[in-house]
Amino acid sequence: MKIIGKAFLIFATLFNCPFLNAQNTEVKTPPMGYMTWNYYGLNIHENDIKMIADIMVESGLKDLGYNYIFIDDGWQGGRDNKNNIIPDPQKFPSGMKSLVDYVHGKGLKIGIYSDAAPLTCGGYTGSLHFEEQDAKTFAEWGFDYLKYDYCGAPDNRETAIERYTKMSNALKKTGRNITLGICEWGDRSPWLWAEKAGGTLWRTTADIRDKWKSIEKAENAKDLHRTGAGILDILNINADLDEYAKIGAWNDPDMLVVGLHGKPGAPSTDLGGVGCTDVEYRSQMSLWCLMAAPLMITCDLQNMSKETVNILMNKDIIAINQDAAGKQAKRIIKTSDWQVFLKELSDGDYALGVLNTGEKENTIDINLKEIGISGKIKAKDLWSKKTFGIRKKISVKAAPHETKVYRLSQQKR
């Protein structure tokens, strides 16, 4: 058997066998980039994508790791007379291959969107029963990523697994490395099956809205589709799923709403999405980085405020997200006013996140020994950039809805 296996390996290598060129879904750190949905909605154009690519390079976002552009719903123009899916000729007059080449020419990767049903969430052409044909088309265009939605599909888990597996297999068959992002909003507990179905990341909650939390109480996670999920609502679901995150398999709590500020007409303004304060946006960035979440910007890149730039381009915070260990932080304290997260990093350091969920400024003392840290510690506040020494406890003062993040290192003797 070993001899036959080696012979097959040599044969496949020499003759470029698609089996060996199958999709490599391992993404060693959480994907970072720009997702069109919460800013552009269905109104996207190829010139928007080119502009985004230009700004990501010129602003330095690409150098910080934001190396994807994800085209969301609304790009489709139906099917041709051979049932090949085609882009809307008004929105993408140059064609997708030309656009992909432009983005790749900037040193960036690019993703596309479809749905595991006849129609997408926006009512455009989906991929059900055309999985192999569409996967082949996406590969020929040169796409690197597929966000695969679930609007219009049956509620049961078995069908979801079947449809996502079918698309994953179709992508693998193309021979191109196309990462699959599963987007069924956590309703069927995808953290239990999505990796096996071929997903590299999976949405864990309802769509995020541009707000701190739902005003109306949600009875359960699915009820957030009705009440609208804010940053805190999503945190409270995703934080409990740390055991399922690892290198190449990521919990996805949806996009960053940082910098949207309640943009009129944006999908994120639905269900009470009136915008957040910069403190709340900074908390989302902090918490998403602690949770090893994909970082998908979705604001107006041409008109970012200084504070938005500072939030999205904080190298120290991004380093926590992109840490090579690939671990999601554990929530080690949860009270009515505080949530505390601890994340073990690849170099032996720890990231400590402290969120004040209350409505007034408050202070918490954290005993290091009680959270498993001993010795003389150097702490760096990753937002203020101040460093200080601690031995037994750290005292954290935080404004309402503020998250403080510290990198804790053992001081050398």
Q: Is 409 helix (H, G, I), strand (E, B) or coil?
A: strand
Which amino acid is present at 231?
I
Q: Is residue 94 part of a domain?
A: yes
Same domain for 132 and 194? yes
Among residues 134, 149, 242, 349, the one annotated as catalytic is 149
Q: Which domain holds residue 246?
A: 32-322
How many domains are contained in the chain?
2
Same domain for 262 and 292? yes
Same domain for 313 and 338? no
Among 179, 173, 164, which residue's Cα sits nearest to residue 127?
Answer: 164
Same domain for 317 and 386? no
Helix (H) or strand (E) holding 390: strand 387-390
Burial class (CB in 10 A: 0-12, 13-18, 19+), 394: buried
User: Considering 266, 290, 322, which residue would you say is the last residue of a domain?
Assistant: 322
Same domain for 102 and 137? yes
User: Considering 270, 303, 322, which residue would you say is the last residue of a domain?
Assistant: 322
Clarify whether 207 is annotated catalytic.
yes
DSSP letter string over 36-96? Answer: SHHHHTT---HHHHHHHHHHHHHTSTGGGT--EEE--SS-EEEE-TT--EEE-TTT-TT-H
Q: Is residue 20 part of a domain?
A: no
Among residues 88, 207, 210, 323, the one annotated as catalytic is 207
Clarify whether 349 is annotated catalytic.
no
Q: Is residue 194 part of a domain?
A: yes
Phi, psi (5° rounding) for residue 301? -65, -25
Output the tens digit of pLDDT for each of the chain's 413 residues. Answer: 333 333 433 333 333 443 333 344 467 999 999 999 999 999 999 999 999 999 999 999 999 999 999 999 999 999 999 999 999 999 999 999 999 999 999 999 999 999 999 999 999 999 999 999 999 999 999 999 999 999 999 999 999 999 999 999 999 999 999 999 999 999 999 999 999 999 999 999 999 999 999 999 899 999 999 999 999 999 999 999 999 999 999 999 999 999 999 999 899 999 999 999 999 999 999 999 999 999 999 999 999 999 999 999 999 999 999 999 999 999 999 999 999 999 999 999 999 999 999 999 999 999 999 999 998 999 999 999 999 999 899 999 999 999 999 999 998 76
Provide the 10 A C-beta neighbour count for residue 119: 14
Cα(138)–Cα(226) distance, integer angstroms: 33
Single pTM value for the model: 0.93
The CATH number of whichever domain residue 393 belongs to comes to 2.60.40.1180
Same domain for 74 and 207? yes
Question: How far apart, in Å, are the Cα atoms of 120 and each of 4, 97, 245, 272, 386?
Answer: 45, 22, 28, 23, 48
User: Considering 322, 338, 360, which residue would you say is the last residue of a domain?
Assistant: 322
Among 194, 161, 158, which residue's Cα sits nearest to residue 179?
Answer: 194
